[in-house]
Amino acid sequence: MEAWEECLETLERDPWVHIWYPRRKILVPSFAPRYVNSFVSVFEAQSKKMSDQLDFKVGRGNIGCFDYNVSYSLIAVCETIFGETLNTQRTFDRTFFNAFSQCLKYVTDRITKPWLHSDIIYKLLPMYARQMKYTNIVNQCIDNMIYAKQELLAKDDAIGKVDERIKTDKPPLNSFLELIIKNSKNNSEKGYTHEELREEIIVLAVAGSDTSAAGTSFTMLMLAQHPDVQDNVYKEIQDILGDPNKPLEAKDLIKLKYTTAVIKESLRLYPPISLLTRHCDKDLELPSGLVLPAGCDVIINILGVHRNPDYWGEDANEFKPERFISGHVPPNGFIPFSQGARNCVGQQYAMLSMTTVIVTILRRYRLKPATNVRRTKHNQLRLTFEVMTKEVNHFAIQVERR
């Protein structure tokens, strides 16, 4: 694994470092544990709303849990980014959600269809005009929220409120947008331009919604297929969290070691992002003897790394959460959030969000396998690639009340 670690370090140094490195220096402090942990109340409130929606599906056959998870995660992400509770019933919020979802569909289409890669061809198609229409709506909505937040922070700065909240143990700032604006302003080198700030907000919204939704959905599928594991998770929740009416806190969720192991094992077998790309800045010899020439771009198969028997043993394709309890996780063998200098800054955020959903759902429901769903010959899930890895049966499960 030492050779593999050296490969990762070499591949991190890409020609775009002058763009991502200064941006990351501003972004990372916003994901400090004290800020991320404060968002558990948002995760809990929104996951309870999702749980209420599932109540109407009890005993009604198969349901696609991804649709519920993506709705939850997008609302929770937007609330933690902007510090406002968004409501899909309001015209403004509904317009933003619809435009955001449509943009993702067009981007996915273009990435996965090589004949759409050419700008010349793509801009001649009707879908380009539709994508730009929705892109402009998203940009305008985000711009309005950025301007409003900047105005609010300017007023707070005038009376010293923001600095006081940062320096003391008082409640942290209300949103990632506030934190990023403040960190950008205080950066000794160069802060974000308005366009860069908007781009980072969009990246956070995309990365924090669909990927977390897919990770939670895969975990729910695994729990439905392995009732013994689900019983163990439920018992741990009961033992550690106790009273179901007690508000969830990050310090309690972190104690759920087995539940965390189940989520990680689901991410190992079914990583929402299954590929990474890196640029090779010098000749690099792989452990196999193959030499990657300087200047080439490399695709790292996360799904392949996660199921490599050389790292995980002959049972690498089996669902065994105990792997993450034993502590025998191979170095750099588990990379659902990437690895190295360009790893995902929001991995703690994502894990807390997914854990909150699983806890909330299992407290109220028992997850059951969907009926009339075809698996592979080894009873593995059948997957499809849409930028993210998804399950071809739309993450179908059934739910029953406890």
Q: What is the distance between the alpha carbons of residues 340 and 200, in angstroms, rounded to a whole number?
A: 20
Largest pairwise CA distance in the chain: 66
Is the distance from CB of 361 to CB of 220 less than 8 angstroms? yes
Bridge pairing between strands 291-292 and 275-279: unpaired
Neighbouring C-beta atoms of residue 263, cutoff 10 Å: 27
Exposed e or buried b per residue across 278-297, where buried means at least 16 C-beta atoms within 10 angstroms of its C-beta: bbbbeebeeeeeeebeeeee
| C-beta of residue 269 within 8 angstroms of C-beta of residue 317 | yes
In terms of C-beta density within 10 A (0-12 exposed, 13-18 middle, 19 or more buried), how is residue 324 classed? buried
Q: Is the dihedral of CA 169, 170, 174, 178 positive or negative?
A: negative
Residue 344 is labelled as binding a ligand: yes
Q: Could you give the residue ranges of the DSSP H alpha helices within 160-279?
A: 161-167, 176-186, 194-225, 227-241, 250-253, 257-269
Residue 282 · residue 10 · CB < 8 Å: yes
DSSP secondary structure, 128-156, as one string: HHHHHHHHHHHHHHHHHHHHHHHHHHHHH
Give the type of residue at 228.
D
386 contacts 112 by C-beta, under 8 angstroms: yes
Residues annotated within a binding site: 344
Residues annotated within a binding site for heme: 344
